[in-house]
Structure 1
Amino acid sequence: MQNGRPPIQRLLVVANRLPVSANRRGEDSWALEVSVGGLVSALLGINEFETRWIGWAGVNVPDEIGQKSLTLALAEKRCIPVFLDEEIVHQYYNGYCNNILWPLFHYLGLPQEDRLATTRSFQSQFDAYRRANQMFADVVNEHYEDGDVFPIGIDSDRFIRALELPQVRNDIQQLKERFAGRKVMLGVDRLDMIKGIPQKILAFEKFLEENPNWRDKVVLIQIAVPTRTDVPEYQKLTCQVHEIVGRINGRFGTLTAVPIHHLDRSLDFHALCALYAVTDVALVTSLRDGMNLVSYEYVACQASKKGVLILSEFAGAAQSLGAGAILVNPWNITEVAASIGYALNMPADEREKRHHHNFMHVTTHTSQEWAETFVSELNDTVVEAQLRTKQIPPPIQSIKGFNATLTETVDANGRRIDQFTEMQLKLHPDLKDPLKKLCDDPRTTIVVLSGSDRSLLDENFGEFNMWLAAEHGMFLRSTQGEWMTTMPENLHMDWVDSVKHVFEYFTERTPRSHFELRETSLVWNYKYADVEFGRLQSKDMLQHLWTGPISNASVEVVQGGRSVEVRAVGVTKGAAIDRILGEIVHHKDVNSPIDYVLCIGHFLPKDEDIYTFFEPELPAPSPSISRVNSPSPVNGLVPHPSANKGGSNISCSSLKHPFSAPDKKPCSNGNGNGTGWWSALREKITVHEGSSVLDLKSENYFSFTVGRKRSSARYLLNSSADVASLLDELAESLQS
């Protein structure tokens, strides 16, 4: 705080062009002129923030003296330049941005000659695009300060005030005299394919054809600001517009007047305000437009005349001004022509009501109000993100004495592979050796706890000396023995058939989806389906389930990233682990308590109760325990002194099975060796003999989540590579 006042927050606006035109007057002298444009109009009204605008100045400045002098001159306008040479601008902006990104983002597709050209030019344009973005990032990083924010309405007061200026009032009077006795229609657009200028002019021609009495009573003024004049597509558009305008003027014009006044240039701010003020009907026929601020500016300048706005339904402004405007489909020439007639003949009271609605919106939702709301919400988002980050476990750099990891089912380089190959992937070969070493250690017990069925666990882990817990722990066996069940006796499964019918129905109607019928649950997986369509189908499926087969059933629906699972109530990994430990200790005849636990997983929130089950800081383990606070990050986890004193160790590591859905991340548990590094759990689980099988202390329990997310685990492993490294070091420590 300065002088008892809070510091003013800085707003950084990063755009391709600065809102300033720069002309060099000498070696170190520049003439600057503030530009008029949509984004400029939107941000000029922000008064509550110290705004800085970062962008290209629009000129090539290769010499250091010129760059320094221009930087100083722009600083007075609160602008910071990014210096791009002509080649980068041509390749990055005219090439990649305008020839590739812009058409695709506006549903136009690439120009035919570009598609037929060599792809080498595309690659060079993309390389320039990357270099330009890096140059922008470097400048932003150089000027960024802690607390800065990166961020549309207009500054309506600026337009309203301009109408009172003597220069503007004089221009208004001249325009009224020039077009006396005629209704004025106005279009202000960039000469661009998406602005729909040909469609607008053709609709006006149709109106004149069908309404001959209006031919000498109305005039269309079309301001077409030239853009990208060196591009063939735009040159063709210019010729097309000129041809249509000439044909219509030749057909309906007279010696003293023509129906269309077409200008291939921009107007200054004051002249534009005057033109807005005398216009009876504004015509916006964009074929695709993000917002279109021309409609806002027109409404702001119509306080006295209360003209009519005809607005394309494909413009973003239609969402906010649609109630007061006449919405049209610009491709429907007949509809637009009819709307022109309706607007010109609209009664005064209807014009008043329509204008009032739009004027209230434009003057209320100004650029300053937008900026204040935007920055306020942005700050709230930062605070919320920080709160969420506090619930993300800290990363762990190394573990002295042990290290464990398992790998995901993608190839080593992380490249996308085809669905069939991915579904056939088995246990990673680099994992087999360390896993075998851990399984062969007599003091270590490995448990793979998975949502997958028994056959898949047998296929992938049958060769190891470990324990397998299938279907979230409902089935259990040692690889040296037979499968047994840990299911509660009162587990009802009479809902399975009806749910199966629903899953079959949606599988047939969702390409590349499949469902798995298990003994205690059903899973519908749309991992390989189209993302958006899969999500829509999953929402529809949930409605079918809740209103049908599971409306009165004792089941839970668990939603994964791209899966829907229906399982019996209470079937979670955390709920099953106590029964699993009891069975393991009973069958292995373990006499000493388990005093070290390592648990690694990539679970859905529903199954993260396994982490809290082992937490010694909780008074009693139970399913769905709320998250506990993670301990402070450590650089290394030192072997516990009691490691070699005869205690038993259990390690639980999560394996992402290649066949399982995201909610089926297996969890492998393993006993520690003699170098204690797991937290202790004070809670006792009574087995057949009634003995205590867990005696954990906090410093001897380690829980890891794989991937950055909110989790009840204590620590974070960023990727499967980290997990693999951890397991390998863990196995190596057994030999020391």
Structure 2
Amino acid sequence: MLPVSPSALGGVRFDRSLWLAYVSANRVFGDTVTEVLNTDEDNVWVHDYHLMLLPTFLRRRSYRMYRTLPVREEILRALLNSDLVGFHTFDYARHFLSCCSRMLGIDYESKRGYIGLEYYGRTVSIKILPVGIDMGQLETLMLQFEGRTVLLGVDDMDLFKGISLKFLAMGQLLEEHQEWRGRAVLVQIANPARSEGKDVQEVHEEMLMVAEKINNRFGTADYQPIILINRTVPTYEKVAYYAIAECCVVNAVRDGMNLVPYKYTVCRQWSPALGGKPKKSMIVVSEFIGCSPSLSGAIRVNPWNVDAVADAMNLAIKMPEPEKQLRHEKHFKYVTSHDVAYWARSFDQDLQRACRDHFSKRCWGIGFGLCFRVVALGPNFRKLSVERIASDYRKTSSRLILLDYDGTMMPQASENKSPSDEVISVLKSLCSDPKNVVFVVSGRGKDSLSRWFGPVEKLGISAEHGFFTRKSGDAPWETCLLTPDFDWKKMAEPVMRLYMETTDGSSMEHKESAIVWHHQDADPDFGSCQAKELLDHLESVLANEPVVVKRGQHIVEVKPQGVSKGMVVESLISKMSAGGKPPDFILCVGDDRSDEDMFESIVGGPALPAAAKVFACTVGKKPSKAKYYLMTQLTS
């Protein structure tokens, strides 16, 4: 068990020394792999929870530890330094994706059957495929050993395998169905425990006690209902048991993949005990183990419900032969087509797909300790040079300056949303130059922007993502639509209100041109789920309305078609060009998704003079359509 995982049966306290030992072990693996790794040609495939930190140690050059970081975030960020993360079942993947959403605010996207997480410009692919078994080894062994007659359970000796619960179910079967007394035998192979301790000893003693009680109750001189093999059993002997078992019972209360049912199915197919008869097999499997979803013909049970397990065992034994054959055929077809070779080949193919665009990007290492992460950026993306922009600013005579507000001039986390005296002073200075056209382009409403920037008379403002625009403080507001139609609000508002009322922590924002549903204060998983549902609901309800429904960071917004910050940029450039003063200098600064429309319009919008100096700049070193970045807000 990971030293960071609390025990399910007792709440073991976190021991940092064990965590640091875990980190050190991963570091040793990282050092060793790095010594032999050819980074241009080799792929690295990391298996299981023992090495969850290894991707970070292979990605970064410095191995210094920062002990103050919360270890769960460290593990998540370490795994996200991989290109492909694989899970045996969707249930496992779902927990991982939920952690990414709750702790890091990263939601997954599904595109054409592939699941991916966008993480600092890289797509971390998620693959779900259970591991297979080695067909060749089992088939060879089955030809070598013949003639064993057994009914089987195969489990490790630990507290999660549910062996005692299985024995109790066997006793319940014999109690309720007397026809099986003297006929049904459960052979339990108990592999030796991998560790020692009080918990393991108690489980072992309980198992012996329950087996003895049931054997005393239903056994005779020549019949034991439970045969316990409490020793190391070689593979060839296990194969013999698999081959002759009518039913395999795997009822762990919690487990990983557990390949026992796969091995059992293959052995039954090649069993000499069946001779030339139709092949058949039955599986009773716990719903809490990894292989359960892939066994569509198995009888799934809750291992804690002893009566249900007993009923499942009875159903499996009494099931008509044709039904047993059909279920076996279904399982065997899956197991043979999804063997270990298929599993490895499939992962290799998806890893190649996940890495194919690596050479078209520049990757940067950011952060310290296990919060280190790899950021993938465009090849021409670079930090904005103050000296460069100042030089070009002085040489030009028709300048267009476009500034986002929240996150650009004002930190997103600031409680006081009004601009500081420093911001007002800087804007006044820029606007006082007759060579400058300065606009604040924001998603906020026009009333608050008018009030805040009233002292800057020559400042242009574009509010609600460009729906309202005015050239200066004394100019009237203009809308980007000739005949605005807001009848759609009567349809959208009740739908949003329903989701607000059923999602604790969410809220609605009414703008003159749009309605926004916010869920940043809701439960991350539920809020994200509700946002997806709301998006689908609104798109269906408003399918014939002149609006667009967009999902942003913690929001779902409905606004008129044709309204975007990109349209504002294109309109301003066109008007300046029509007035005989096409811009020869453009500075556009923003920080979020809506600002990407501005960056895109500068590159692909109205024609600019060939010698125009263009600086599209995002706040923060992150993937963007802008070619430049600043690390902090403009006023920092």
Asked whether the two chains share a fold, i.e. TM above 0.5, the reply is: yes
CA distance in 1, matches of 2:602, 2:174: 81
Distance change >3 Å, CA 423–CA 526, structure 1 → 2: farther
Q: Identify which of 170, 173, 197 aligns with 1:207.
A: 173
* Structure 2 SS opposite 1:544: helix
Does structure 1 conserve the Cα–Cα contact (< 8 Å) formed by 2:585 and 2:612?
Answer: no
Q: Deviations over 1:182-226 (max 9, x none)?
A: xx3211112233322222111111001112332222221212223
Q: Identify which of 523, 547, 553 aligns with 1:555.
A: 547
Structure 2 residue aligned with 1:376: 349
Distance change >3 Å, CA 135–CA 210, structure 1 → 2: same
Distance change >3 Å, CA 134–CA 232, structure 1 → 2: same
Does structure 2 conserve the Cα–Cα contact (< 8 Å) formed by 1:525 and 1:564?
Answer: yes
Q: Identify which of 158, 167, 175 aligns with 2:137.
A: 158
User: TM-score, normalising length from structure 2?
Assistant: 0.72
Deviation of 1:280 (Å): 1.9
CA distance in 2, matches of 1:459, 1:355: 74
Q: Identify which of 579, 592, 613 aligns with 1:700.
A: 613
Does structure 2 conserve the Cα–Cα contact (< 8 Å) formed by 1:407 and 1:431?
Answer: no
Structure 1 residue aligned with 2:293: 319
Structure 2 residue aligned with 1:511: 504
Structure 2 residue aligned with 1:455: 447
* Structure 1 SS opposite 2:23: helix
Q: Deviations over 1:672-710 (max 9, x none)?
A: xxxxxxxxx52xxxxxxxxxxxxx335511223445666
Instruction: Report 1:584-595 matches (<5 A).
Output: 592-595=581-584
User: TM-score, normalising length from structure 1?
Assistant: 0.63
Q: Deviations over 1:608-642 (max 9, x none)?
A: 44334333xx5x63xxxxxxxxxxxxxxxxxxxxx
Q: Which structure is larger by alpha-carbon Rg, 1 or 2?
A: 1
**What stretches of structure 2 of length at least 5 have no aligned partner?**
46-130, 275-279, 363-375, 391-400
Structure 1 residue aligned with 2:213: 247
CA distance in 2, matches of 1:313, 1:287: 8
Amino acid at match of 1:446: V
Structure 2 residue aligned with 1:473: 466
Distance change >3 Å, CA 202–CA 394, structure 1 → 2: farther
Structure 2 residue aligned with 1:402: 389
Does structure 2 conserve the Cα–Cα contact (< 8 Å) formed by 1:160 and 1:301?
Answer: yes
Structure 2 residue aligned with 1:484: 477
Deviation of 1:502 (Å): 1.8
Deviation of 1:555 (Å): 0.9
Distance change >3 Å, CA 512–CA 423, structure 1 → 2: farther
Does structure 2 conserve the Cα–Cα contact (< 8 Å) formed by 1:514 and 1:524?
Answer: yes
Deviation of 1:296 (Å): 0.5
Structure 2 residue aligned with 1:610: 598
**Higher alpha-carbon deviation: 367-376 or 233-242:** 233-242
**What stretches of structure 1 of length at least 5 have no aligned partner?**
1-93, 116-120, 177-183, 622-680, 683-695, 729-736
Structure 2 residue aligned with 1:22: none
CA distance in 1, matches of 2:151, 2:422: 73
Does structure 2 conserve the Cα–Cα contact (< 8 Å) formed by 1:449 and 1:470?
Answer: yes
Instruction: Report 1:289-328 matches (<5 A).
Output: 289-303=255-269, 304=271, 305=274, 306-323=280-297, 325-328=298-301
Amino acid at match of 1:610: M
Does structure 2 conserve the Cα–Cα contact (< 8 Å) formed by 1:407 and 1:428?
Answer: no
- Answering whether residue 570 of structure 2 is matched by residue 597 of structure 1, we say no
CA distance in 1, matches of 2:442, 2:186: 71
Q: Deviations over 1:10-57 (max 9, x none)?
A: xxxxxxxxxxxxxxxxxxxxxxxxxxxxxxxxxxxxxxxxxxxxxxxx
Deviation of 1:156 (Å): 1.6
CA distance in 2, matches of 1:592, 1:213: 98
- Answering whether residue 19 of structure 2 is matched by residue 126 of structure 1, we say yes
Task: Report % sequence identity.
Answer: 31
CA distance in 2, matches of 1:512, 1:545: 20
* Structure 1 SS opposite 2:556: strand
Does structure 2 conserve the Cα–Cα contact (< 8 Å) formed by 1:463 and 1:479?
Answer: no
Deviation of 1:486 (Å): 3.3
CA distance in 1, matches of 2:378, 2:451: 34
Q: Identify which of 306, 315, 328 aligns with 1:342.
A: 315
Structure 2 residue aligned with 1:11: none
CA distance in 1, matches of 2:340, 2:476: 68
Does structure 1 conserve the Cα–Cα contact (< 8 Å) formed by 2:361 and 2:377?
Answer: yes
Does structure 2 conserve the Cα–Cα contact (< 8 Å) formed by 1:156 and 1:362?
Answer: no
Distance change >3 Å, CA 434–CA 101, structure 1 → 2: farther
CA distance in 2, matches of 1:331, 1:186: 19
CA distance in 2, matches of 1:401, 1:212: 91
Distance change >3 Å, CA 596–CA 238, structure 1 → 2: same
Q: Identify which of 137, 141, 146 aligns with 2:30.
A: 137
* Structure 2 SS opposite 1:240: helix
CA distance in 2, matches of 1:333, 1:476: 70
Structure 2 residue aligned with 1:53: none
CA distance in 2, matches of 1:156, 1:291: 17
CA distance in 2, matches of 1:348, 1:544: 48
Q: Identify which of 182, 187, 191 aligns with 2:153.
A: 187
Q: Identify which of 206, 212, 236 aligns with 2:202.
A: 236
CA distance in 1, matches of 2:561, 2:469: 19
Deviation of 1:524 (Å): 1.1
* Structure 2 SS opposite 1:500: helix
Equivalent pairs, count = 516
Q: Deviations over 1:462-511 (max 9, x none)?
A: 55563321111222346643551233222222212321222222111111
Q: Deviations over 1:579-631 (max 9, x none)?
A: 44677899xxx9854310011233437x644334333xx5x63xxxxxxxxxx
CA distance in 1, matches of 2:406, 2:187: 63
Q: Identify which of 220, 224, 234 aligns with 1:268.
A: 234
Distance change >3 Å, CA 250–CA 608, structure 1 → 2: same
Structure 1 residue aligned with 2:532: 539
- Answering whether residue 47 of structure 2 is matched by residue 148 of structure 1, we say no
* Structure 2 SS opposite 1:447: strand
Does structure 2 conserve the Cα–Cα contact (< 8 Å) formed by 1:510 and 1:529?
Answer: yes
CA distance in 2, matches of 1:379, 1:251: 59
CA distance in 2, matches of 1:219, 1:709: 63
Structure 2 residue aligned with 1:446: 438
Deviation of 1:126 (Å): 2.6
Does structure 1 conserve the Cα–Cα contact (< 8 Å) formed by 2:187 and 2:227?
Answer: yes
- Answering whether residue 236 of structure 2 is matched by residue 259 of structure 1, we say no
Does structure 1 conserve the Cα–Cα contact (< 8 Å) formed by 2:584 and 2:612?
Answer: no
